[in-house]
Amino acid sequence: MARALVMIPAGEVYEHDNVRWYKHSDIQRSIDHYHNIGDAFVFESSLKLMNYDKVAELPIVNPPMEKIDQLREEYDYVILRGSNYINKDMNWRDTIPVLKRLGLPVIAFGVGAQAPVKGQLELSEESKAVWRIIADSTTSVGVRGAYSAQVLNDIGIKNVRIIGCPTAFRRNNQHLRIKLPDLDTVKKVGVTVRREVSPTYAQDIQRYLTLHRELIKQMANRFDITLMAQGEVEEKKMVFGTDEQKEEAIAALKANRWVSDWYFDDAIEKLYRERMYYSDVVADYETLVRSHQLVLGYRLHGNLMALANGVPSIYFTYDSRTAEFAETYKIPSYDVFSDKPFRLEDYWDQSLFDKYNRAWFETYGEMNVFLTENGVDHKMTETGRRATDAARRVA
């Protein structure tokens, strides 16, 4: 089987293809620092699609070049974990000399671009050079959607394939479909929480936060809810902090003007104290979403983990990244900045999820083709590829 290097991993690997955050058993070690456990979702999901004998990190920060020479002899290719790398501020450290010295194929596994609210996305010359090295090393570059493909096309990279995100296919079940139960039977609902947001990418922070608050309260008034956090410090402290740290978190939230004015009222505080969930172990989230009948909200990968396990999800889109995902998979989604109110009943429509089911199946096929054409030993089946080819012929 293959030997794979991973560029920019997110967490430590255990039991071959499972991922948890570094030193996860000592939560106090990282309780004051933000890390997005959703990145670990993508890392683990990528591993679960691959057949490999061993995996190790490719160092890109001041590594001795003798080490890079050694890795060239011991490994077959590099996996670049899918993330939002196509951006104007990306610091690639020593990636260019490392990849030039290494000389191995670099498999970009569902990477994406993010558009600013104003103006065009302008990549640095360093980023352009990195992406050209990656594109020249493989048959195709795997991107999450059409916008990301266009950004690469604009800098002359044409060998691009839209493959979505590995998290969607982590179960590798060709027959996975979303089938809606009667809404009256839904009891347990997960709300994915993303309180922190940048005005660079979200056009109206007041609207973003007030709608987020109302969504949480609306769901709490109707269902047995879990608030699913993914790494913000205050939310993490509400789960794993000491009593003192929990009160510090509450005080910090109230001291933030945007948060206190537009989001964190008494009802939200009570729900934060009683309903917040966080874990540094990816498998814990998979177990969590399987115990719910609906997951919806602001977190891209929290929502996708639900869909990957056959649990209905509705995306709240607020930037180019979330909108691109919803478009790639035809996921039922609500535009946070639209004028219309959110009504769950408007989205509880099997015909909407049938569009998702078809798009998921076709994108599964594209992921299959992508891995195969780039020489990655993988577990995906040929059925998806044949379905994609057939769909193209029909079109």
List of the chain residues with pLDDT < 50: 384, 387, 390-391, 393-395
307-311's contacts with Cβ under 8 Å and 24+ in sequence apart are 307/168, 307/178, 307/331, 307/356, 307/360, 308/45, 308/167, 308/168, 308/169, 308/170, 308/171, 308/176, 309/171, 310/176, 310/177, 310/178, 310/179, 311/178
Q: What is the pLDDT of residue 24?
A: 84
Could you give the maximum distance between any two Cα atoms of the chain, in Å?
63
pLDDT in tens, 165-221: 999 999 999 999 999 999 999 999 999 999 999 998 899 999 999 999 999 999 999
Q: What is the pLDDT of residue 25?
A: 84
Domains and CATH numbers, the chain: 2-172+361-374 (3.40.50), 183-348 (3.40.50)
Q: What is the pLDDT of residue 386?
A: 52
Backbone angle region of 279, left / alpha / beta, with phi > 0 → left and psi within -120 to 50 → alpha: beta
Q: What is the pLDDT of residue 389?
A: 60
* DSSP helix/strand/coil, 212: helix
Q: How far apart are CA 208 and CA 215, in angstroms?
A: 11
Closest CA to 187 of 224, 226, 227, 228: 224
Q: What is the pLDDT of residue 390?
A: 42
Q: Residue written as tokens 């974990």?
A: 81
Q: Tokens in use for 24?
A: 């996860």
Q: How far apart are CA 22 and CA 14, in angstroms?
A: 11
Q: What is the pLDDT of residue 103?
A: 98
| Number of alpha carbons in the 13 Å side-chain half-sphere of residue 112 | 25
Q: Extract the runs of DSSP E, i.e. beta strands, from the chain.
A: 2-7, 12-14, 18-20, 52-57, 77-81, 106-111, 141-143, 160-162, 188-192, 224-228, 276-277, 294-297, 313-317, 333-335
DSSP label of 119 = S
Backbone angle region of 96, left / alpha / beta, with phi > 0 → left and psi within -120 to 50 → alpha: alpha
Q: How far apart are CA 356 and CA 145, in angstroms?
A: 15
Burial annotation 348-360 (CB, 10 A radius, 16+ → b, else e)? beeebbeebbebb
Q: What is the pLDDT of residue 23?
A: 87
Kindly report whether the global pTM for this prediction surpasses the value 0.85: yes
Q: What is the pLDDT of residue 393?
A: 38
Residues in the chain: 395
